[in-house]
Amino acid sequence: MTTKFSVQHMDLHYGAFHALKDVNLNIRAHEITAFIGPSGCGKSTLLRSLNRMNDLVEDCRITGDIRLDGEDIYAPGTDVNMLRKRVGMVFQKPNPFPMSVYDNVAYGPRTHGVKKRAALDAIVEKSLRDAAIWDEVKDRLHRSALGLSGGQQQRLCIARALAAQPEVILMDEPTSALDPISTGRIEDLAMELKRDYTIVMVTHNMQQATRVSDSTVFFLLGEIIESGKTEAIFSRPQDKRTEAYITGRFG
């Protein structure tokens, strides 16, 4: 298995707040990596550093080194839009655009210059199929995406991310706003998708991490306490704090 992302000696400050401290981490290709930890521990912050969404936050300062396939993504002259095309993202709250299902999925390809109707049709159908929502929306492609249920909207957002043909998909608590059935579907989908993509998922839900992830990273107060194979972390945690967290003693 090859390393997709490597993070070395990375520190992140929001103004005076030291949000991530000396983070070192390798994220492997074609795996699902789960970020776990209590609220405010920095897991979402790290996730959003991987596609540079933190650039939007004023006085957010990052030092250290984050590499995607060996290339420093914070190097001067990096094409941030290209980076975000390669590293797609699914947000905590489903955020389909207020336009048709079709236009939502076609947004990424159109952004990156696909104009031909036939090509777009093909990408839209494939993305929706890959996101396991095609059958539910194929008869209403041209109706507003806002009419879909929450779970459908989230799968649509995954389809939308897939349509941009990314290599990595970042998922920021993708099921926290969903019911158990929709959650199960998204989890199944994530496990399907790891064949073709690398997935990094922030989750609050311990069971979810054990169910879907191959590797787990445990964060506490801006530091990585422990990382490794999910099985190992949950059955034989090396650190007392990890053990306390996964057994539900805090967080």
- Identify the helix (H) or strand (E) that includes residue 127: helix 117-130
The span from the CA of 36 to the CA of 16, in Å, is: 24
Task: Tell me: does residue 67 bind another protein (CB under 8 A).
Answer: no
Q: Which of 29, 57, 99, 114 binds another protein (CB under 8 A)?
A: 99
Rounded to the nearest 5 percent, the helix, strand and coil shares of the chain are 40, 25, 30
95 contributes a contact to another protein by CB under 8 A = yes
**What is the bridge-based pairing of β-strands 198-202 and 168-172?**
parallel
89 binds another protein (CB under 8 A): yes
Give the whole-angstrom CA distance, residue 74 versus residue 68: 10
Map the footprint of another protein across residues 147-166, applying CB under 8 A. 157, 160-161, 164
Q: What sign does the dihedral 165-95-111-143 (CA atoms) show? A: positive
- Residue 53 within binding range of another protein, rule CB under 8 A: yes
Q: Is 93 in the site for another protein (CB under 8 A)?
A: yes
| Residues in binding contact with another protein, number by CB under 8 A | 26
Among 17, 61, 63, 82, binds another protein (CB under 8 A): 82
CB of 247 to another protein, least distance (A): 34
Q: Which of 2, 16, 39, 56 binds another protein (CB under 8 A)?
A: 56
